[in-house]
Structure 1
Amino acid sequence: MSGEAGFATSEAITALCEQPRFPRAIRATASGLSSMHHGRHLLNWLMDDRGRMLLGYLAIYLHATRDPRDSSSGLTPTRIKALCTEFDVCSPGRAGAMLSLMRFSGYLTPDIDIIDRRQRRLVATDKLYALLRSRLKLHYTAMAPLFADGEAMLAALDDKIVDGALVAAMVKRYRAGFRLVSAAPELGLFGERNGGMLILASLIAAGQEDDTVPPSRPVPISIAALARRFAVSRPHVLKLIREAEERGFLERPGPDLRVVVLKPALIDATQRFFAASYLFLADSMREAMAVSERRRKAG
């Protein structure tokens, strides 16, 4: 694992966190993620938040970078399992189970043009592209005011030529050693739990308009509502909240669990995580836009 990426240095992260519009970007991202999620029980059983997100991008990457001259290239179970192992996303067994669920849900389909059926090549469907594009649009819309070229990056999402180039740029940075969690390793408690990051996003979004972002004043919490919304069990949510308390991330100001307070350690880690995420997406999109422009000029 290499050190900090050139585009997401500690100085760059601090500078972004200090921008006046940064809190509004976090609130927009957290609110959007919390609102757009629809409970998927089977997916939650198989993968954590980080794994579900990355596997979708890896599927698009393998599909988009297939070489027509190489019959072994493209999106195959073997190749995506290898990437999941390389990036420490999940075990090969879980990756295989996730692929089966993605096929069942219509995100992947067998390649009907394949000659050798032993290759079991898959194709990313428009449904998968639409899902990931909607998630990316949420992020780029929220972060656009933070960058001079933010509006250009947002507009580029409508260019289908950019799709494959953007995901390829993301994977390139992961191969170079970048990891979102490196900027805020404390958030592993949430990122490695089913629904964990979505629960954190929900707490951030629950803050009042005149509060800081993430909120520093008490926010309401309902274990039952979070469990229903994010398709996890009540004991799962309760265990996550209690562990966050034990680590000094959350505090209950009263004897019952109706409100919680986000502690400075969690607020700081969350800000660093979002800043690194925005810098990663910005750097990846700039490369994708440059690749797209070169391809246009080449005809």
Structure 2
Amino acid sequence: MPDEVRPPLSVEDILSHPRFDAARAAYVRAMLAAHENQPALNRLLIDGGTAFIFFAIIVMQAGFRPDNRATWPTVQNLKRQMEGHGTASARRVHDIVRRLADIGYVVASRAESDKRTALLAPSEKMLAHDRMILAVYFTPLQVMLPEPGYPEPMRHDPAFQQIERKISAAFMGHANGFILANKTAAFFLPRHAGFMILTKLIDLAFREEARSGDAGGPIEVSFADLGLRFGTSRTHVRKLLSEAQAEGLVRLDGPRVALTRACRAGFDRYLADTMAGHDMIYRLAYGIAPFAPAAVSEPAAVMRPVIEPAE
């Protein structure tokens, strides 16, 4: 990490960067390495609603202040947050929390000041999984800007994780906004295994393009194989892609799938949005974290933000 604060990255900076293609490829590889061929875990964690709840529990715990009940990580507060974002119904939140507890990702304890209230907390198993996911999201930034890089998330640093997730709470509304504004992300992310299936298709499409030189051409896939890789059924994959075709995101011809230009552009825009957000959060964490060198004196509050925190 240098002694000066480098200027923030905009989405346009990222999309026009000469290393964006390499960053995208690294992100796709890292995401697939984290989720491919892990069907039991994938059935629970890779649909948009569950992933958002997983993230929210960690963020709520990081921002928990015992003297402020509004920050308490309770099921009730989680339900209000998810319903406010339109992410999941109260009943679904309850079911997902129970399933996360069943696999040892969430634990509950009684509040010291109110023994009637159960507080949720991520287990060490869940926190380790989250550190791995943070490294996935910082991988494209590390590839694009290897000097000075993003060493703390890349080495799964727990202190960085705690600070990063505390800051992230202010950006949840923004993240929801750029997802809803992106037709590709808004379609694939909420559907079970949708984004991972898209990520695999992106990977296969670029591999075929490198082999044949046919940019945007169709790729032959097995719906059954895609289902097995991500813990879902062939029928679900076929239905997902049929609906994506109706939205103009893919073209189907038997087992052949072509990603439309709009779909590819949407994937790139989503990736650039997440990269800009994580870069900004990293800078904010860097401004308050104990591992920041003393030479960095510019307060995080006066740094020009790439993305505005939610009100």
Q: How many residues align?
A: 282
Structure 2 CA distance for partners of 1:147 and 1:183, relative to 1, 3 Å:
farther
Alignment-derived partner of residue 79 in structure 2: 81
Alignment-derived partner of residue 262 in structure 1: 259
Match of 2:94 among 89, 93, 96: 96
Q: Does 1:276 align with 2:273?
A: yes
What is the 5 A alignment of 1:1-299? 12-37=10-35, 38-40=38-40, 43-44=43-44, 49-70=47-68, 73-111=71-109, 114=112, 116-147=114-145, 151-152=149-150, 154=152, 158-175=156-173, 179-182=177-180, 184-206=182-204, 207-208=206-207, 210=210, 216-252=216-252, 254=253, 256-257=254-255, 259-293=256-290
For 2:274 and 2:173, how far apart are their aligned partners in 1? 16
For 2:108 and 2:95, how far apart are their aligned partners in 1? 15
- Report the CA distance between 1:286 and its aligned residue: 1.3
For 1:72 and 1:155, how far apart are their aligned partners in 2? 29
- Report the CA distance between 1:161 and its aligned residue: 2.4
For 2:247 and 2:174, how far apart are their aligned partners in 1? 31
- Report the CA distance between 1:204 and its aligned residue: 1.1
For 1:246 and 1:73, how far apart are their aligned partners in 2? 42
For 2:127 and 2:117, how far apart are their aligned partners in 1? 23
RMSD of equivalent CA atoms: 3.0
State the AA in 2 paired with 1:264: R
Aligned partner of residue 119 in structure 1, secondary structure: strand
Does the aligned pair in 1 maintain the 2:75–2:94 contact within 8 Å? Answer: yes
Structure 2 CA distance for partners of 1:160 and 1:152, relative to 1, 3 Å:
same
Per-residue CA deviation, residues 107-161 of structure 1 (Å, 9 max, x unaligned), is: 1112267464420112211111111110110121222132476613555764322
Per-residue CA deviation, residues 53-90 of structure 1 (Å, 9 max, x unaligned), is: 22112111121222244577532111111211222221
Q: TM-score, normalised by structure 2?
A: 0.79
State the AA in 2 paired with 1:62: M
Aligned partner of residue 268 in structure 1, secondary structure: helix
Structure 2 CA distance for partners of 1:189 and 1:182, relative to 1, 3 Å:
closer
Structure 2 CA distance for partners of 1:114 and 1:108, relative to 1, 3 Å:
farther
Structure 2 CA distance for partners of 1:121 and 1:78, relative to 1, 3 Å:
same
For 2:14 and 2:71, how far apart are their aligned partners in 1? 39
For 1:78 and 1:127, how far apart are their aligned partners in 2? 23
Gaps of 5+ in 2: 1-7, 295-311
Does the aligned pair in 1 maintain the 2:131–2:157 contact within 8 Å? Answer: no
Per-residue CA deviation, residues 254-299 of structure 1 (Å, 9 max, x unaligned), is: 5x21x212111111111111111111111112112212149998xx
Aligned partner of residue 258 in structure 2, secondary structure: strand
Does the aligned pair in 1 maintain the 2:141–2:150 contact within 8 Å? Answer: no
Does the aligned pair in 2 maintain the 1:65–1:164 contact within 8 Å? Answer: no
Gaps of 5+ in 1: 1-6
Per-residue CA deviation, residues 13-49 of structure 1 (Å, 9 max, x unaligned), is: 23311212111222222222223222237955xx872
Alignment-derived partner of residue 3 in structure 1: none
For 2:52 and 2:147, how far apart are their aligned partners in 1? 25
State the AA in 2 paired with 1:228: L
Identity of aligned residues (%): 20
Q: TM-score, normalised by structure 1?
A: 0.82
